[in-house]
Amino acid sequence: MTTRLLLPLLFLTTPAFAGTFTPPEGCTVNLTVQGRGCYVSNYYTCPTDNAGDQWRADFDQEGMFYMAKIDSETQWIESYDLNPTVKQTLDPNPKDPASFSNLLATGRDDFDFSLSKETGEHTNVKGYDKLIGETVVIDGVTLQRTEYDYVETDDEGNILRQSHGNEYISAERRNFFSGTSEWFDGTNWLPLDGSPVQFFMPGEKGFGATQPLYECDAVMSDASPLNALIQPAAYLPQSTPTPQPGH
């Protein structure tokens, strides 16, 4: 996404602009998900992207704090941590690229790839996603439950982030949604739950919302709010994730 397209979105991160999410010009929002842990995500596509690419914009009570783009195989192509804005991209020629198709076909997908931030930070991510044979229905949407585990290290092998847990996938939408997980902070494993609660389709009341609805009082009283850890595990092939809600 160019800076020209990104800047209009940044204005939506302030409470004064809370309301309905407006994607970049020409792009189309197709889904809004209200999740546990006080966040809401808007999913959208843009005609100038490659076929199958999808964007997600995450909001907490203060506004938008994260954006990410995945491809049709749910590879984490690029992401933006906001306030301040830092871009991260997938390095070319990953050792073992994430493959949503492989996950659906075999029940497991291993991944091994590297990421670069515009600040110069370079990291390596290795892990797996696995279907566990469970199907659930949340707010009328049928999802399959997964197990995941990943570790992110620097080039010297030092662990920067580490997480395991369960997420959800939609085979129809070729996307991950956050679930229950644990994130290692260097001393302890911290539990998080960013599971979806409500799904809003175009035309439904609540579609395009930028204000989270669930468990916000709990997050506000917590010294370590969800978005301070979040780095979507689902986009790490993860919600999520990160910790970020969803891959």
* Residue range 114-150, pLDDT digits in tens: 999 999 999 999 999 999 999 999 999 999 999 999 9
pTM given for the model: 0.85
Contact at 8 Å (CB) between 127 and 110? yes
Note the pLDDT of residue 234.
36
Q: Is the pLDDT of residue 247 over 80?
A: no
- Is the CA virtual torsion 157, 148, 95, 78 positive or negative? negative
Distance CA 222, CA 39 (A): 14
Structural Rg of the chain based on CA atoms: 16
Note the pLDDT of residue 218.
67
Distance CA 110, CA 127 (A): 6
What mean pLDDT comes out for the span 220-236? 42
187 confidence band (pLDDT: 50, 70, 90): confident
> Of 71-80, 182-191, 229-238, where does mean pLDDT reach its minimum?
229-238
Burial of 76 (0-12, 13-18, 19+ CB in 10 A): buried
Q: Is the pLDDT of residue 206 over 90?
A: yes
Q: Is the pLDDT of residue 60 over 90?
A: yes
Q: Is the pLDDT of residue 244 over 90?
A: no
pLDDT in tens, 5-50: 444 444 344 443 458 999 999 999 999 999 999 999 999 999 999 9
Tokens of 171: 């085979």
Distance CA 100, CA 149 (A): 16
Q: Is the pLDDT of residue 225 over 60?
A: no
Q: Is the pLDDT of residue 222 over 90?
A: no
pLDDT in tens, 69-123: 999 999 999 999 998 899 999 999 999 999 999 999 999 999 999 999 999 999 9
186 confidence band (pLDDT: 50, 70, 90): confident
Note the pLDDT of residue 80.
96
Note the pLDDT of residue 217.
83
Query: DSSP letters of 106-148?
Result: HSEEEEEEEEEETTS-EEEEEEEEEEEEEEEEETTEEEEEEEE
Note the pLDDT of residue 14.
41
